[in-house]
Homo-oligomer: A and B are copies of this chain.
Amino acid sequence: MENTKTIYDIAKEAGVSASTVSRVVNDRPGINENTRRRVRELLDKYNYSPNEAARGLVNQSSRIIGILIEDIRISHHTESAYIIEQEMTRLGYTCITLSTGDSPERKAECIQILTKRRVEGVILMGSMFGTEAVKQSIAEHMARIPVVIVNGLLSLPNVCCVLADEEQGVKLCTELLIRKGKRRLAFACEACTPSAANKLSGFVSAMTQAGAGEDKLRIYKGCETGSADLAPEHTLLAGQELTRRILEEHPDTDGIIYAVDLLAIGGLRELARREIAVPEQVSVIGIDNTLYGKICTPPLTTLDNKLVDLSRTASRLLLDALEGRQTARQTRIGTDIIERGTT
């Protein structure tokens, strides 16, 4: 830290007491206009800036909120973090945004960091925060502050959840493909996150209703225990690899639903490599409505899970809680299918 002026320095030079300066800084009423002006001039002259740490200490309020994301490089999380940061900054809060990575240990470390900084509220982004290990950390370290989890479930008294109905969404996607005459459908996801599990049940539910037996379900999972590498590049490769496996084991597959857009785009690559026509031979659907899906060829049909709405809602909920208003424990938002060239 450096030697910024304190209210005492200003006070001395203005020939008043520190409390007077404090009052001027905080625009408190009941101060002689002349004194106020004199103090203001000095404040300006020295570019005085109040020390928020000291302020927070005496006010018992840090005006900091935490945003925990698995990996900010994942494009829908980037967007969400952006929205929340803008919103909270506008309201005078400072955000500490941390990419936690996928291990529960790292998540716990990040929770510790936020705790030390005495954040007043937290937003958790992603279904991976809805696991037992994380729940424990939250319960231990953040029991007394409002927490909002986006696209995850966490049953704790101080946590409220806002989620897209992805199960229903994927069900509709599956039904769309069936309506188009595709029957030998596959579902692919990279990591077994709770979110992926939801999507999967939407798929299973639609398939079962359409008369597919449990044994005929083509379900492909990248790895069993969360993803090892969250970098977008890796997801792309995983999409190729999963698609390769699907096509080798079930060459007659005529439609694939991928848990995220980037996986689907990896899939498109593999399909192109094998000269399989999309959507004529194989239809493809992704999830997240990312820009990637917009620019690939053919443009990707995708499930818009409304991350933008979710993020906005999340910041509003957090704000409500911070200001003592009652908030819904769970908010659900519907999804939309954006139909483009791959179906």
Binding site for B on A (CB under 8 A): 1-4, 47, 49-54, 56-57, 60-62, 71-73, 75, 78-79, 81-82, 85-86, 89, 94-99, 112-113, 115-118, 120, 140-141, 144-145, 232-233, 236, 265, 269, 291-292, 294-297
Contacts and interface: CB of A to CB of B under 8 A. Distances in A.
28 contacts: A1-B56, A1-B60, A1-B118, A2-B144, A3-B144, A49-B115, A51-B116, A52-B116, A52-B117, A53-B56, A53-B57, A53-B62, A53-B118, A71-B82, A72-B81, A72-B82, A72-B85, A75-B75, A75-B78, A85-B97, A86-B99, A94-B96, A94-B117, A96-B96, A233-B294, A236-B291, A236-B295, A269-B295
Given A71-B82, A97-B97, 20 more contacts: A1-B60, A2-B145, A3-B144, A49-B115, A49-B116, A52-B118, A53-B53, A53-B54, A53-B56, A53-B62, A72-B78, A72-B81, A73-B82, A75-B75, A75-B78, A85-B98, A86-B99, A89-B98, A89-B113, A95-B96
- Give the 5 A-B CB pairs with smallest separation, nearest first: A2-B144, A297-B297, A53-B53, A1-B60, A52-B116
A86 B70 CA distance: 12
Contacts of A2: 144-145
How many chain copies does the complex carry?
A: 2
A329 to B, nearest CB: 20
A141 B47 contact: yes
Contacts of A269: 295
Nearest to A95: B96
A78 B75 CA distance: 9
A103 to B, nearest CB: 14
A90 to B, nearest CB: 10
A112 B72 contact: no
A99 B82 contact: yes
Contacts of A94: 96, 113, 117
A145 B4 CA distance: 11
Contacts of A1: 56, 60-62, 118, 120
Nearest to A97: B97
A291 B269 CA distance: 14
Contacts of A81: 72
A2 B296 CA distance: 49
